[in-house]
Structures are given as C-alpha cells and as structure tokens.
Structure 1
Amino acid sequence: MQNRHVIELSPSGKTFDASQELLLDAMLASGLPVPFSCRRGACGSCKVKVVSGQYRDKQRTADMPAPCYPLADDEMLLCQSHACSDMRLEIPGWSLETQTLEIHAQVHGKRELSADIIELVLQPAQPLAVRAGQYVRIRLANGDSRCFSIANLPDRDQGKLVFHIRKVSGGLFTERLLPTLQAGDTLKLEGPVGACTWQHEAQRPLVLFATGTGYAGIKPLLLTALAGDAEVTLYWGGRSDADFYDREFLDQASRAHAHFRWYPVLSDQARVQQVALAQAHRWADTQVYACGNAAMISQVREQCLAAGLQAHRFVAEAFVASGTLAPEASTASPLHPELEKVGPRYSLDGMLAAREQSVRAVAAVANQLKVGMTTAQALEMAAQTLQAMGASHTWHPTYIRFGDDTVRTPRQGIDLQRVLRTTDIVVIDVGPVWDGYEGDYGDTFVFGQHELHHACVKALHEVFDETRQAWGRGLTGRELYDFAERSAQVKGWQLERNLAGHRIADFPHVLYGQDKLAEVEIVPSEVVWVLEIQLCHPTEPVGAFFEDILIGEARSVS
C-alpha cells in the first residue's frame, strides 16, 4: 500500500493528501484552488515555500528539459515535486479564503440621472467605514459580482450608499436586475475596497480627472476637497453633453466655492489631459486623482509627470465597464473547437468582470510604489493588495521589474534588491483569479523625467493599439506578432518575441489549452486570448510591457 502524506497549507490550515503523484496533481485532485500554468518548471506559478517536510524531484528522461525557474533554497515547484513525508507549505500571493466584509443593504431608491445613467441608493444593514473614493462589489445570484464606486460620503448621508450606474445593452445587472429593484429589496455587498482614496496635504492644489461614470469615484473626493475649501479643478470627459449628468451640482458648487472650477470635455474635441495641460497648473506642487478608463489613466499619468507632477502625488482608480452581457445577449463569435476550449463556468460576463478587477489591481499597486522601495518589497505589497481586493489566488506569479530589469522577461531572473529610483521605469504584471475567472493585465509606469523612459511607454501603447486594431481587420495570431514587430521597428524599438501571448479562461485555462497567440494560424476570438507586447531599446537597458485581453474597442473603455 502506498504511503499517503498529509500536506498542510499555511496559514489557512487546509490540508490535502499526497502519495506518489506530483504535488500539483494531488492538490488539484483535492479540489483546492492552486496557481499553476506551464507544468514544465519554467513559469514559477506553482512555486511554494517549504516550511517543513521532505520531498523529491520529479524523475525525468534524458530528453526532458530540466526546470529553469530560479528557486531559493527553501522553495520548490509543485509541478516538479513529490512528497516523501508530511509537509507544511506556503504559497506566496495566494490564499484559500480572503477576509472580506459582507453585508446586506436595502434599496432606498433609484432615479434616472440621464437617459442611460441610473442613480441607485442603498441603505446598509450596518454602518460602513468608507473612505472617499472607495467602491463596493454587489454580489449576483450566480456568484459573480459587479463593482461600483460609492458616489457620496456616507457618513454625511445617514450611512446611505449612492451609485451612478450606466445602462449596458444586454447587461445582466443593468438590464435584468436593476430595472426590477424596488424600495426595500435586499442586495449583498462586499467591501468597501479601493486605493483611489483621499490622501491630501493641506493647502496643496488638487486636479481631478474623470471619464464617464468614473466621475462617481471622483465626486466623494471633490466633496471632501470643497469642505476644506481647497483649490480644486475637475476635468470630466464624456462622449456627449448628456454624459455630464451632474452638471447642475457642479455649476452650483463652482458658484459657491471661489476656488473650484470644472471643465466638461467632449471626447471628439479633446482629451481631459490636453485641456488640463493648457491651464496654468503648478504641477510640481499639485495632487492629482483620476478615475476612468484605463487609457485615460495611463495617458494622464504619463503627460502630467512629464509636466512636473511628482509621482507619489498621482492617485488613480482604473474604471472599466464590465460588459455584463446576459448569456443570450452575447454576440461573441463561436470559439475554435480545439484552440479555444474553455471550462464549464466560462462566460463573457465573468471574464470581463475579472478584467475590470485586474485593471484596478494594477492601478492600486502602482499607486503604492514608493521611491526607495526594493523589488522584493514591491512584490510583497502587491500580494497584500491582491488579497485585500478579493483575489482568491494568482494563476501566475506577480511580476514587478524596475530599471534595467524591464528588458528581462518574466522567466528570467531579476534583482529582488533593486531599488526604485527617483527617475525610473517600472513594469507591473498581475495574474489574479477573481471568482473563478482568470485576470491578466500589465502596464509600465515612469517615475521622473527621463526622456527615453517616456518615449518607450509612448511607443509601447502605440504598438499595442495598432496591433489590436490589426486584429480587428482579421489577422491571425502569427500575423499579429509579425505586425507588432514591424510597428516596433518603425518606431525605433525591438519587440521581445519570447512574450508571445497566451490563452485565458475560467481557472485554470491550462487544462483547456496552452497555445501561444503568436503561433496560431486562426483569427483569435474575443476574450479568450491575451495580447502581450514587450518593447526593448536596441542598445540601452530600457524596456516596457503592456498586456490585456483581446477585446473589442466598444468593450475596452467606459
């Protein structure tokens, strides 16, 4: 009879049994969620710390490559190891259970703010300690959730929570649930969470940026600023005049507060940062908050830093429309039966919600980076942030790379003691699992005024956007990366072809497919592939990285 060993996971105390099988297979068989990806010992997704116990390495034949992921003396890979005794393991950045405040709230009322914006007011069963700028997740009956910014200051409004919700065509929440809600109905909430919160120094001028219903996250910050009589300017971007649904309040506030101005910015005429940079702001002495679509966040940060804004005074919350399509409302094309297999829980709705949280997570991690922080400290902070935001675990390790390490790929070693400098470039790449769906998002951030760093990030986003547009013209996966390589070369940069895009699905996608996007000869379908772009300078140690799910333009902005 084979010896069976008890494997304990710290700090949860959860256990599973293992015998002769690989530890990864034993854990999967137990039903516990476990991060893994390549199964070859190359990606490090299933890396664990060995607290106690004995193990042996997987036997391999002469033609099998040895695992290449770098490990510390007290670390091992679940996919490459067998237990030889009872063991106690820790998995960095992973938890079986995330402590989240769950409460019930009753519908207090709802009304139309515009033709497609609904104000929903909830009264929680117990008071919530909400910081200006935070959001909550509303739980749906199918186990999924929707994130909405709190658009008021509850402690000044009898504890009520106010939300501004844009109607989404075919939306599971906005077209199915929201219209049926009546006063007294009960919803389940989780939170509050969010990193775009008030952290202002007295007497410092404020500049606020918002697009669409990202304004909901900015309004509590504005209310807080007005109460302190701070000098504050709001730039609110929209597609039409109707998008400025709180104009009456803002006009009244600008008349009542001599130090407040606001600018409605129509997207077909200008971008919010263009209007702001044309004003006489003292950027070196200004605090900036931004809430809106991911493209706006990235562009505002880059251009304001170039104008003199201090990196630690930029706080943002990326807001991404969830898409939230009901199953029969989805217009996605049929998936390829072999290359685009997905699991039983897969839905466009769930994947878009996971993408939304991943975009938020990258912004939250970037907001907390501090000059003088080491890479190791940044990774620890990122792990804590993901868990606090509700990630059950990560399906690939979190990657953060400073300075010279930005030219390296995730599978190459980095200097964990490298320090973030005043003038630096930083890559953040997260792969969290939210409610059983995989998220994957990465971006690059610049600290200081280094011209080459800013040029690299500018070229990066141009190459990504052009490649995504080429996908819309019917290019195959292989053709997309050939296109991206040419686009990078024209701009004077090199494309790192070892980062070649990959599948994504309900967790874990590796059970359904591990093909590289750059190698497939099909036109990739929406929301099952991740497009990865890493650029490197031809001669200098400067690189940048951006990745996102391949997604139609209509779903990619709020």
Structure 2
Amino acid sequence: MNTRHVIELAPSGKTFEAGDELLLDAMLASGLTVPFSCRRGACGSCKVVVADGAYRAKQLDPGGPAPSYPLAANEMLLCQSHACSNMRLEIPGWSLDTPALVVEATVLGKRALSPDVIELIVMPDMPLAVRAGQYVKFRLVDGDSRCFSIANLPAESDGRLGFQIRRVSGGLFSETFLGAVEAGDLLQLEGPFGACTWQDDDGAPVVLFATGTGYAGIKPILLTALKRDVEVTLYWGGAQPADFYDRVFLDRMIMDHPRFRWHPVLASEGRVQEVALGHGHHWQAAQVYACGNGAMISQTRAACLEAGLPSHRFVAEAFVPSGRSSAGVPSKPLDPIWEKVGPRYSLDGMLAAREQSIRALAAIASQLKVGMTTGEALDMAAEQLHAMGASHTWHPTYIRFGADTVRPPREGIDRQRRLRATDIAVVDLGPVWDGYEGDYGDTFVFGDLPLHLACKKALHEVFDETREAWLRGLTGRELYDFAEQSAESKGWRLARNLAGHRLADFPHALFESKVLAELEIPPSEMAWVLEIQLCHPTEPVGGFFEDMLMLQA
C-alpha cells in the first residue's frame, strides 16, 4: 500500500505529497523548484532540515557507495530519503519562488550630483537580493541594455536602488534616455549581477580604488566596511575637483569613523595606485576592491600583487564607456535540446559565478599547508565557500593529495593522507553563487619535483590546445579525441572518465546531464565545462584543470 504523506516546506507553507518514492522525486513531480544535482548523496545540494516527521534512508544497491555528504542530526538528503509520516522540512538558502531575472522599477526621482553626474533613484516592483558591489542592466526599448552599479545598500533603503550615472555627450542612455526619464516612469531592470562584492574576510584592512563613477560600485562596499568597523582607505581618482561629487559624505564619515581615510587623487597629481603604494599599507593582509576603467584596474592589480597582495584578495569590476557589461553576446544560440537552461540563465550571471569560483579556488589553495590532511583541507574549503557566500555546492568539493590525484572524483580517497613538502594537489570546486553554477579546478605543486612540475605544465598545455580546437568548431566528442592525442604526445594519459559537463543557472540537472565527450554538436560558449585530467602512465601522479568554455578565458 502506497500511503501518501503531506510534506510541508517552511517557511513558505507550500506542500507536496510523497509516498514510496524518494522525497526528491516527489518534490520534482509536484512542480516545486528544488536544489539538487548528483542524486547519490555526495554534493549536499538537496540537504534539508527536518523540523518534524519521520523518514527512512534509501536502500542502497549491493556494493554501491554510501552517501558521503556530512549531515547534522536534524538534516537529511532528499535524494536519499523516503517519508514515513507527514513532515515539515526547511531548505537552507533556497527560495521556492525562483527570483525573476527581469523586474519593473518605478522612477522615484533624479538629481544632479555634479555638473555631469546624475543620481537616479528607482523602486523595483519586488525586493531584490543585492550584495554590496553588484550591478543591474537597464533594458532599453531597442533591445539594447546598459549596466550600472547599485550605489547604495537597498536593504537599508527600503528596497530603493540608487545609481550614479555620468552624462556622456551624445550618449544614448545618459543624454537621450536619462534626460527624458521622469518620476513615475517604469523601467525594466535585469539582475543583479557581479562578483565584485564584499568578501567578509575576517576584519582584514580594506583598500578601495575607484576612478570616476566607478565610485558607485565601491560605495556599497565602503558602507559595509564602515558598518563592520574595519580599517578602510579609499583612493578616488578624478580629472578635476568636481569629479569627487560625494566629498561631503566622505568627509563626514571620517569624523564618524576614526578607522576610515579617503584620498582624492587628481590625474595631474598621479595615479591612485601610486598614491596608495606610498602610504605603507600592509598589503599581505589587505583586502582590495577596485572599480573603474580597465587600465586602472589592470595597473592597480599588478602594483598591489607586486607589493605582496595575495591574488585572491584583489576584487575588481571594470566598466566600459557604453556602460555595457563585459559579458558580451553569445557566439551562437544555445541548442534547444542539449543546451537547455533555466529562466534566470544569463551571461552576466555565469561570468560572475566563474570569477567568484576562481577567487575561491585561489583562497583555498593559499590555505593548503604541508602536514594538513585531506579531511582538514575539505573542512577548510567548506568554510571558505560559506564565508564567500556560496549557497550550495552543486557537486562535492574534491581535494586530492599525492597518489590520490590519479583517482576519479567518485572514487574514495584517504581523508587522512597528509600533504607533503614535495607533493602535488588537486582542488575542484562546484559552488553556486547567486543562483548560478560555478565550476573551476586546478593543480598545485609543492616543492620542485620535476615530474610534478611537468604534470602541471602538460595539463595546461592540453587544456589550451583543446580549447583552441573548440574554436575551430569541433564537436564535444571530437574535443576529447583531440585532448587524448594531445596528452599522449606529451607523455601523459587522458582520463576520459572525466569528460566535461553542462553548466547553467542552478540546478542544470533539471535540464540536461549529458557529458561533453558524448556531444555530437559543437558546444556553445558559457554552457559547458571542459575537464582535463592527466595521469602518468607508470607513476601515481595526476593533475586536473577545468574551466568554462568561453571565447576569452
């Protein structure tokens, strides 16, 4: 007898029924959105808190692997559990109502901040979950769009969004569109997007760089730093004194916050990074944010890294004169069968997730220490991803030391294996950021063993050559045939059980789970991850690198 149980999801109050089937299958059948991915109890995407009710674990196949995701006493995995009674569940970090990608916003007002900078205030028709430093896209009637940073903290402004927009002579948006906008008009906004966001780095001293209206993207980060009472210094570059249009506010903040300093930097006096480097910051411990023109960002990054700043602690957002994002447009439409995506898929969202994943990988790699066990490294990585704002991991975090680097992800490892002074390590991340799947992995060499160094070198060469082959229009299957030949030519073996996969707005498992190496069409940009795992033909040494396929990596 298939007894049906009512499952309530808190705090929404929405319900679905479940019988003998797995709770995950019952929830999907009900039409409710649910986070999930691996279906084998490894990734933790479908973790829920059991507030009330009874359940039983899924019966495992003989000899099959047991679920490996660690759970608290009041937690379970939907993909591994059956209901035994009516239940009340909570899904941490998940909304049953998929946030809209596009919202309408009402113009509340606009005013001049300087002779050529306008402040625009709008109220979206629904609350937006905005992280300090993000931007939105203004959709125009001709199908074009413009990107502008959100210059306030909406959660502290009753949901209002503020923008600081420079008037550009002849500009379609800043002169024609913005000039005609009046209070009460309706606008269409897409987002929010962006990975130049507050990193919550345990009270590290913060250094901020901005040029022009790049200050708009920096101001919410400044406001967050002031709230946290951390040491913060702002360097704001401009061509003339009027460019420092928020001077009154900044001067007042100096009076209210003794740990805050700001420096207006006129172009005639030097560059922002040159002034900052002369002020004796402890760069090894700093957290740096930069927003402005691309030249400033690249020069500032190079200068800060040379001064000792760890690379993952430089967070930046470049803007272009048109106000468009750096995402561009896809090289070709996504295939409607093999490349399905969800309602929130966007190039901006995918790029931001990639950038944050790269930053997270660097932060985790910087904390790998000789003598650390694999288990300790995995715990550290989980804490780092949580601190950086990952809501889920759509696949488990994989960390491998030494001989474990030749093992495929689903094969068990020795959690007590210790990282040696001369060793090779693999880190593979699959976090979810703002509803978008990130996926990035790389190999790290400790010491200078020639075989380890050769592995890392060959690994990146095979990846780069295979990516170049993708640009020539090869299918997914042809790509992995090519990668196999490239690896063999360098004296390594390609592990084809790691064969690439889809990536989209989370969870892509709703749409397609085909692997890249079986794809009989050329894969589209920003929809697939190219995975390369190399193994030495005779020694227990392996390496792994993966990244999203995109035209400009």
For the aligned pair, the TM-score class normalised by the smaller chain equals 0.5 to 0.7
Offset at residue 522 of structure 1 (A): 2.0
User: Corresponding residue for 1:134?
Assistant: 133
Offset at residue 207 of structure 1 (A): 7.5
Task: Confirm or deny that 1:352 pairs with 2:355.
Answer: no
Correspondences of 1:340-489 after superposition (within 5 Å)? 340=339, 342=340, 350-359=345-354, 361-362=356-357, 365=360, 371=367, 375-380=378-383, 382-383=385-386, 385-386=388-389, 394=392, 396-397=394-395, 399=397, 401=399, 409-413=408-412, 427=427, 429-432=429-432, 434=434, 438-444=436-442, 463-485=462-484
Letter in 2 for 1:473: R
Q: How far apart, in 1, do the equivalents of 2:394 and 2:176 lie? A: 34
Letter in 1 for 2:32: L
Q: How far apart, in 1, do the equivalents of 2:417 and 2:177 lie? A: 49
User: Corresponding residue for 1:57?
Assistant: 58
Cα pair 1:537 1:543 within 8 Å, conserved = no
Residue aligned with 1:33, SS = coil
User: For each residue in 1:373-430, what CA deviation from the matched residue of structure 2 results, as whole angstroms up to 9, or x when unmatched?
Assistant: 753354255346546xxx6xx4724526375577665434567799999999673523
Residue aligned with 2:6, SS = strand
Offset at residue 209 of structure 1 (A): 7.5
Q: 1:282 to 1:122 in 2, by over 3 A?
A: closer
User: Corresponding residue for 2:513?
Assistant: 514
Task: Confirm or deny that 1:503 pairs with 2:509.
Answer: no
User: Corresponding residue for 1:268?
Assistant: none
Q: How far apart, in 2, do the equivalents of 1:18 and 1:375 lie? A: 34
Q: How far apart, in 2, do the equivalents of 1:207 and 1:528 lie? A: 35
Of structures 1 and 2, the one scoring higher in RCO (CA 8 A, sep 6+) is: 1
Offset at residue 29 of structure 1 (A): 2.0
Offset at residue 477 of structure 1 (A): 0.9
User: For each residue in 1:239-259, what CA deviation from the matched residue of structure 2 results, as whole angstroms up to 9, or x when unmatched?
Assistant: xxxxxxx55569999xxx998
User: Corresponding residue for 2:32?
Assistant: 32
Cα pair 2:502 2:529 within 8 Å, conserved = yes
Offset at residue 324 of structure 1 (A): 7.7
Cα pair 2:330 2:525 within 8 Å, conserved = no
Letter in 2 for 1:396: W
Offset at residue 516 of structure 1 (A): 0.8
Q: How far apart, in 2, do the equivalents of 1:92 and 1:416 lie? A: 27
Cα pair 2:361 2:440 within 8 Å, conserved = no
User: Corresponding residue for 1:195?
Assistant: 198
Q: How far apart, in 2, do the equivalents of 1:536 and 1:212 lie? A: 50
Q: 1:318 to 1:21 in 2, by over 3 A?
A: farther
Task: Confirm or deny that 1:18 pairs with 2:13.
Answer: no
Offset at residue 26 of structure 1 (A): 0.5
Q: How far apart, in 1, do the equivalents of 2:212 and 2:477 lie? A: 35
Cα pair 2:208 2:233 within 8 Å, conserved = no
Cα pair 1:285 1:309 within 8 Å, conserved = yes
Q: 1:183 to 1:492 in 2, by over 3 A?
A: farther
Letter in 2 for 1:470: A
User: For each residue in 1:258-281, what CA deviation from the matched residue of structure 2 results, as whole angstroms up to 9, or x when unmatched?
Assistant: 9887999xxxxxxx99x99x9999
Letter in 1 for 2:440: G
Offset at residue 163 of structure 1 (A): 4.4
Q: 1:310 to 1:45 in 2, by over 3 A?
A: closer
Q: How far apart, in 2, do the equivalents of 1:24 and 1:191 lie? A: 29
Letter in 2 for 1:551: M
Q: 1:552 to 1:118 in 2, by over 3 A?
A: farther
Offset at residue 91 of structure 1 (A): 5.3
Cα pair 1:166 1:213 within 8 Å, conserved = no
Correspondences of 1:297-308 after superposition (within 5 Å)? 308=308
Offset at residue 14 of structure 1 (A): 5.1
Cα pair 1:401 1:414 within 8 Å, conserved = no
User: For each residue in 1:204-238, what CA deviation from the matched residue of structure 2 results, as whole angstroms up to 9, or x when unmatched?
Assistant: 8x88788999776458879999xx9999889x9xx
Offset at residue 40 of structure 1 (A): 6.0
Q: 1:302 to 1:457 in 2, by over 3 A?
A: farther
Q: Which runs of 5+ in 1 are unaligned?
A: 237-245, 265-271
Over aligned residues, Cα RMSD in angstroms? 6.6
Letter in 1 for 2:64: A
Q: How far apart, in 2, do the equivalents of 1:514 and 1:124 lie? A: 39
Correspondences of 1:248-267 after superposition (within 5 Å)? 248=240
User: Corresponding residue for 1:552?
Assistant: 551
Q: How far apart, in 2, do the equivalents of 1:68 and 1:298 lie? A: 47
Q: How far apart, in 2, do the equivalents of 1:509 and 1:78 lie? A: 17
Letter in 2 for 1:362: S
User: For each residue in 1:35-84, what CA deviation from the matched residue of structure 2 results, as whole angstroms up to 9, or x when unmatched?
Assistant: 23355667665455767523253586x9xx83564355867653454333
Offset at residue 24 of structure 1 (A): 1.7
User: For each residue in 1:492-531, what CA deviation from the matched residue of structure 2 results, as whole angstroms up to 9, or x when unmatched?
Assistant: 8765433211234565544543221012232123343232
Correspondences of 1:16-415 after superposition (within 5 Å)? 16-39=16-39, 45-46=45-46, 53-55=54-56, 57=58, 66=64, 69-71=67-69, 78-87=78-87, 94=94, 96=96, 106=107, 108-109=109-110, 121-122=120-121, 134-135=133-134, 137=136, 148-150=148-150, 161-163=162-164, 181-182=181-182, 185=185, 194-196=197-199, 217=217, 247-248=239-240, 285=284, 287=286, 289-291=288-290, 308-310=308-310, 314-317=313-316, 333=332, 335-336=334-335, 338-340=337-339, 342=340, 350-359=345-354, 361-362=356-357, 365=360, 371=367, 375-380=378-383, 382-383=385-386, 385-386=388-389, 394=392, 396-397=394-395, 399=397, 401=399, 409-413=408-412
Q: 1:50 to 1:280 in 2, by over 3 A?
A: closer
Q: 1:507 to 1:209 in 2, by over 3 A?
A: same
Cα pair 1:443 1:547 within 8 Å, conserved = yes
Q: How far apart, in 2, do the equivalents of 1:406 and 1:457 lie? A: 12
Report percent identity of matched pairs: 43
User: Corresponding residue for 1:2?
Assistant: 2
Cα pair 2:55 2:83 within 8 Å, conserved = yes
Letter in 1 for 2:397: Y
Residue aligned with 2:64, SS = coil
Cα pair 1:231 1:260 within 8 Å, conserved = no
Letter in 2 for 1:523: P
Q: How far apart, in 1, do the equivalents of 2:56 and 2:119 lie? A: 55
Letter in 2 for 1:476: T
Residue aligned with 1:524, SS = coil
Q: Which runs of 5+ in 2 are unaligned?
A: 155-159, 246-260, 370-375
Q: TM-score, normalised by structure 1?
A: 0.60
Q: 1:540 to 1:474 in 2, by over 3 A?
A: same
Offset at residue 9 of structure 1 (A): 4.7
Which structure has the bigger radius of gyration?
2
Q: 1:196 to 1:69 in 2, by over 3 A?
A: closer
Residue aligned with 2:529, SS = strand
Residue aligned with 1:547, SS = strand
Q: How far apart, in 1, do the equivalents of 2:118 and 2:400 lie? A: 42
Residue aligned with 1:36, SS = coil
User: Corresponding residue for 2:251?
Assistant: none
Q: How far apart, in 2, do the equivalents of 1:510 and 1:95 lie? A: 17
Q: 1:58 to 1:180 in 2, by over 3 A?
A: farther
Q: How far apart, in 2, do the equivalents of 1:211 and 1:406 lie? A: 44
Residue aligned with 1:532, SS = strand
Letter in 2 for 1:22: L
Q: How far apart, in 1, do the equivalents of 2:457 and 2:235 lie? A: 26
